[in-house]
């Protein structure tokens, strides 16, 4: 192990805390952000991270560019961050993930598969480093009306090396997420996360919320490592941010966040901010943030969906179906229900 005062100690700390600068969920694994858009996106970003290292605090300012693709629960993201200043860190990362499984009614059974690799160079200590992580989390999910409950449990492996010295982590992870969608433009979530290794156990409890307001989106989260870190270690994590649509394919976003010690990556606490622009490449595959039914008359609703988002005829659920997903007649009107038919070519309209 490195001793306090060794310049490599600072490099190791930096190695972990500069990996996820784009606005992503710190602990919920899916809070809405500008990156939830379906299809290809390109991002440019500038920001700064101030983190507590031994024996003193340090900071790094970066300008970054990212290219990403997402489709439902499948995603890929590649990024490179250039240093701004003589003591900032040069780093790059690649992340990918997918969910495999099957749905039966309101239940889903499957697994989340995630992988990440990254590398960096610290100009102060003149050290190069790299890291790689793999994660397999079997899951079960159930929905009832506007509520969704999800439980996962599995393994996360992490291995890293810097200046010729390597180490690894093997942690058992289990989490529970409860999500609610009281309105089409509002998402609320509570999460409980537990990490277990040979030396210690860690438990995190958090809440988050996302709201779409006009052309903008606001998000916030707060949580605490309620056990495992000790009384003298910062344990509270929070994040606030927002985005606004400049054009149908372009969003401007700003995020502020504080992150405590991470028991998986062994990262130092940090406070960071970032501002950037997300550009959706090609035709937009994201529905408007306030997608919902249009009420034409009492007891009569019109629902329109872009069929380019669906590989099969869409389903609809409501009190008239007992909240069970059902394939309906898209493009034809009926009273109180829609019967099944072939998928139209462009926009689906269902009147119920």
Same domain, residue pair 333 and 198 = no
Same domain, residue pair 139 and 66 = yes
DSSP 17: H
Q: State residue 9's pLDDT score.
A: 41
Give the pLDDT confidence of 253-300 residue by residue, as tens digits.
Answer: 999 999 887 777 777 788 889 999 999 997 644 444 444 555 545 555
Same domain, residue pair 191 and 250 = yes
Give the pLDDT confidence of 340-350 residue by residue, as tens digits.
Answer: 333 333 344 44
Give the pLDDT confidence of 197-247 residue by residue, as tens digits.
Answer: 887 888 999 999 999 998 999 999 999 988 767 667 778 899 999 999 998
Question: Would you state the structure tokens that stand for residue 267, as one six-digit string?
Answer: 């990262």
Of 280, 303, 321, at which residue does a domain stop? 280
Measured CA to CA, the distance from residue 236 to residue 31 in angstroms comes to: 18
Q: Find out whether 156 and 168 touch, Cβ atoms under 8 Å.
A: no
DSSP 340: -
Preceding amide of 236 cis, omega within 30? no
Same domain, residue pair 15 and 142 = yes
State phi, psi for 293 to the nearest 5 degrees.
Answer: -70, 150
Same domain, residue pair 211 and 333 = no
Name the pLDDT band for 338 (thresholds 50, 70, 90).
Answer: very low
Q: State residue 120's pLDDT score.
A: 86
Residue 130 lies in a domain: yes
Residue 286 lies in a domain: no
Same domain, residue pair 305 and 343 = yes
DSSP 267: B
Residue 129 lies in a domain: yes
Measured CA to CA, the distance from residue 323 to residue 334 in angstroms comes to: 19
Question: What total of structural domains would you count in the chain?
Answer: 2
Residues 6+ apart with CB under 8 A from 316: 303, 325, 326, 328, 338, 350, 352
Same domain, residue pair 187 and 151 = yes
Residue 289 lies in a domain: no
Same domain, residue pair 121 and 252 = yes
Of 249, 280, 311, at which residue does a domain stop? 280
CATH label of the domain that carries residue 71: 2.40.160.40
Residue 288 lies in a domain: no
Strand stretches in 105-249, DSSP E: 107-122, 127-144, 147-162, 165-183, 186-196, 201-213, 216-227, 236-247
Say yes or no to pLDDT of 15 above 70: no
Same domain, residue pair 196 and 334 = no
Of 247, 280, 313, at which residue does a domain stop? 280
Same domain, residue pair 220 and 300 = no
Residue 285 lies in a domain: no
Measured CA to CA, the distance from residue 148 to residue 37 in angstroms comes to: 21
Expressed as residue numbers, the domain containing 332 is 294-351
Model confidence pTM above 0.85: no
Residue 287 lies in a domain: no
Same domain, residue pair 46 and 86 = yes
Give the pLDDT confidence of 65-109 residue by residue, as tens digits.
Answer: 999 999 888 999 999 988 887 777 888 999 999 999 998 989 999
Measured CA to CA, the distance from residue 250 to residue 259 in angstroms comes to: 28
Q: State residue 300's pLDDT score.
A: 58
Same domain, residue pair 210 and 324 = no
Residue 1 lies in a domain: no
Does residue 163 come out as left (phi exceeding 0), alpha (psi in the -120 to 50 range) or beta? Answer: left
């Amino acid at each position: 192990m490195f001793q306090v005062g060794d310049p490599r100690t600072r490099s190791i700390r930096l190695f972990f805390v500069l990996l996820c600068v784009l606005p992503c969920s710190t602990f919920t694994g899916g809070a809405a952000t500008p990156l939830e858009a379906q299809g290809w996106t390109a991002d440019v970003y500038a920001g700064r991270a101030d983190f507590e290292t031994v024996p003193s605090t340090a900071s790094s300012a970066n300008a970054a560019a990212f290219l990403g693709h997402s489709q439902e629960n499948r995603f890929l993201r590649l990024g490179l961050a250039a240093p701004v200043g003589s003591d900032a860190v040069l780093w790059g990362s690649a992340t990918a993930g997918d969910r495999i499984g099957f749905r039966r009614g309101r239940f889903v059974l499957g697994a989340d598969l995630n992988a990440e690799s990254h590398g960096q160079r610290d100009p102060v200590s003149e050290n190069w480093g790299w890291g790689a992580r793999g994660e397999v989390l079997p899951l079960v999910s159930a929905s009832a009306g506007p509520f969704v409950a999800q439980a996962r449990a599995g393994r996360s492996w992490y291995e890293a090396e810097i200046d010729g010295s390597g180490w690894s982590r093997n942690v058992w992870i289990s989490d529970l997420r409860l999500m609610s969608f009281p309105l089409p433009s509002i998402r609320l979530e509570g999460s409980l996360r537990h990490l277990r290794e040979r030396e210690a156990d860690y438990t995190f409890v958090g809440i988050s919320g996302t709201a779409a307001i006009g052309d903008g989106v606001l998000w916030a989260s707060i949580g605490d490592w309620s056990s495992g870190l000790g009384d003298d270690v910062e344990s509270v994590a929070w994040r606030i941010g927002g985005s606004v649509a400049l054009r149908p394919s372009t969003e401007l976003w700003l995020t502020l966040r504080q992150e405590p010690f991470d028991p998986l990556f062994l990262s130092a606490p940090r406070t960071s901010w970032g501002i950037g622009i997300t550009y959706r490449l090609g035709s937009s595959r994201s529905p408007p943030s306030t997608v919902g039914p249009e009420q034409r008359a009492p007891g009569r609703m019109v629902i329109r969906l872009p069929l380019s988002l669906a590989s099969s005829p869409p389903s609809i659920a409501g009190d008239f179906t007992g909240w069970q997903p059902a394939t309906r007649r898209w493009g034809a009107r009926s009273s109180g229900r829609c019967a099944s038919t072939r998928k139209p070519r462009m926009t689906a309209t269902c009147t119920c």
